[in-house]
Amino acid sequence: MTYSFEDKVVVVTGATRGIGRKIAERFAELGAKVVVNYTNNVALAAEVVEGIKRNGGDAIDVRADISKINEIKQLFEKTINTYEKIDILINNAGIMITKPILDITEEDYDRLFAVNAKGTFFCCQQANKYMNTGGRIINFSTSVVGTMFPGYSAYAGTKGAVEQFTRQLAKEFGLKGITINSIAPGPVNTELFNEGKSAEQIQAIVKMNSFGRLGETDDVVDSVLFLASDESRWISGQTIRVNGGFI
């Protein structure tokens, strides 16, 4: 199916690498105006925006650390000042720290929850302030929530929170004609996933799904586009596990 997001304004958090970058690029290709959010890498954000513009798209980059509420507000204010509206929010930004419970520090815990849970929640709050009827919010969880992997307890806890935010906010957003859903990818062939893993570890994970391969960014992005489209208008409060039968 080919979608059109002509004249839609899309905010993508964590949009400089991996899945987030591909989401931003695909929306732009389909006619959307895209806000490329990033935290630190100015050059990479500029590269994404320049690539979109070179291909005939419309995009801006906005620096904002989504673990900080004031910076989240600035992200949304800059979007409104530039494009005058927000139609779609993709809460993609996140971090992963995986350690045995005895090695998790208070700093690790606080950082995980600040970015993954707090950031998502308060981006949703701002979306509720600015979005109109027909808006779409897509949060990012993980299929690890449905597994029992040593070392993933704190990380999975943050994503479990995201799934509950999604469920509990569905009726609040529904009153405004806005849908809110979560995507929970399985292992995806990105820099974040591959970092620190041996070839043997990756192959062991590959064997856990039904298709004998890692997911690719397009496998996830296609589901995001569906949930952002008019065809998904009767889906809200759901978490979709996009994982090739991983769990």
45-75 confidence digits (pLDDT tens): 999 999 999 999 999 999 999 999 999 999 9
Number of residues written out for the chain: 247
- Give the sheet arrangement for strand 33-38, strand by strand: 58-63, 33-38, 9-12, 88-91, 136-140, 179-185, 239-242
**Do 48 and 15 contact (CB within 8 A), yes or no?**
yes
**What is the model's pLDDT at position 195?**
82
pLDDT of residue 169 exceeding 90, the answer is yes
Spatial distance between the Cα atoms of 118 and 109, rounded to a whole number of angstroms: 12
**What sign does the CA torsion over 27, 29, 32, 33 have?**
positive
Q: Provide the percentage of residues in the chain whose pLDDT is more than 70.
A: 100
What are the residue ranges spanned by the domains of the chain? 9-242
For 14, the 3-state DSSP assignment is: coil
Catalytic residue among 3, 38, 130, 155, which?
Answer: 155
**Do 12 and 20 contact (CB within 8 A), yes or no?**
yes
pLDDT of residue 192 exceeding 80, the answer is no
**Do 158 and 203 contact (CB within 8 A), yes or no?**
no
> What is the CA angle 46-114-97, rounded to 5?
85
**Do 59 and 105 contact (CB within 8 A), yes or no?**
no
Strand partners, 242: 185
pLDDT of residue 2 exceeding 90, the answer is no
155 catalytically annotated: yes
CATH topology of domain 9-242: Rossmann fold (3.40.50)
Q: Provide the whole-model pTM.
A: 0.96
Tokens read off for 209: 């799904």
**Do 154 and 160 contact (CB within 8 A), yes or no?**
no
